Amino acid sequence: MKKHIMALAATTVIGGGAFGTAASASSYTIQQGDTLWSISQKTGTTVEQLKAANGLSSDLIYAGSTIQTSGSAGGTAQASSNGTYTVKAGDTLYKIATAHGISVSSLKAINGLSSNMIYPGDQLSTNGSAAPAQAAPVQQASTQAAAEPAQASAPQGKTITVTATAYTAQCEGCSGVTATGIDLNSNPNKKVIAVDPNVIPLGSRVYVEGYGEAVAGDTGGAIKGNKIDLHVPNNDAAYSWGVRTVNVTILD
């Protein structure tokens, strides 16, 4: 499919002592081969929480650097007073939930979200009826899958590290139809990634760190080797994604 890559290069990287952290925060020294995903699994956090605690705008990390795994760092979302919050660039569900004194699970339940993906301009309710999410903690105590399926456990399959950009089908000259025939204009929220078929087979079901489960349903002239281009609904979301280094697990 002809498409325009709308990503901006992410410039924030992890360097020793680069983050403002609370005195009570716990820290972790990055090891060779670590990713934010693997660190989140080791420390009982999420990728969003790690990025929020350390003020990160990308997933790029370096072995030997130290990051905070708890505590508070700058860049929290401003609490709303009317029960409705407008998502801004750089926001995460964790930031928004923390600013409003609720959990990520409750925020997702209030707004009927099934993933952690949010986009600038989205309107979120912060004081809706969250009782269903709070009413049955015992039923969900053994697993986080019901609340945060993407973070419950590491996806199973071959995992590779790639450079990920983002694109939208809603651009001048774009057909909106992928190489495998998916009409993205009719399915603007469809999670599809463009791949090099020699690296990730077309039609594969994949899990992309920070994006979720998707289908490898498109190709692109600039997508060669360990690169992917993921579909998002609009230009704002593409710019918000930027350029990231992420893990992709080929599920089937």
Q: Region 163-190: what's the mean pLDDT?
A: 87
Place of tokens 């990025």: 51
The highest-level CATH class for domain 84-151 is alpha beta
- In terms of Cβ atoms closer than 10 Å to its own Cβ (0-12, 13-18, 19+), residue 17 is exposed
**pTM (two decimals):** 0.44
Average pLDDT, the chain: 74
- In terms of Cβ atoms closer than 10 Å to its own Cβ (0-12, 13-18, 19+), residue 44 is exposed
pLDDT at residue 134, rounded to an integer:
36
Q: What is the C-alpha to C-alpha distance for residues 198 and 109, in angstroms, rounded to an integer? A: 39
Residues forming CATH 2.40.40.10 domain(s) in the chain: 158-250
CB 59 within 8 A of CB 85: no
Q: What is the 3-state secondary structure of 177-190? A: ECCCCCECCCCCCC
pLDDT surpasses 60 at 157: yes
- In terms of Cβ atoms closer than 10 Å to its own Cβ (0-12, 13-18, 19+), residue 31 is exposed
Q: What is the C-alpha to C-alpha distance for residues 167 and 222, in angstroms, rounded to an integer? A: 12
Query: Who wins on pLDDT, 198 or 65?
Result: 198
Per the structure block, which two tokens stand in for 199? Answer: 């690296």
Fold classification of 158-250 (topology level): Barwin-like endoglucanases (2.40.40)
Residues forming CATH 3.10.350 domain(s) in the chain: 84-151
Per the structure block, which two tokens stand in for 157? Answer: 């399959």
SS3 state of residue 78: coil
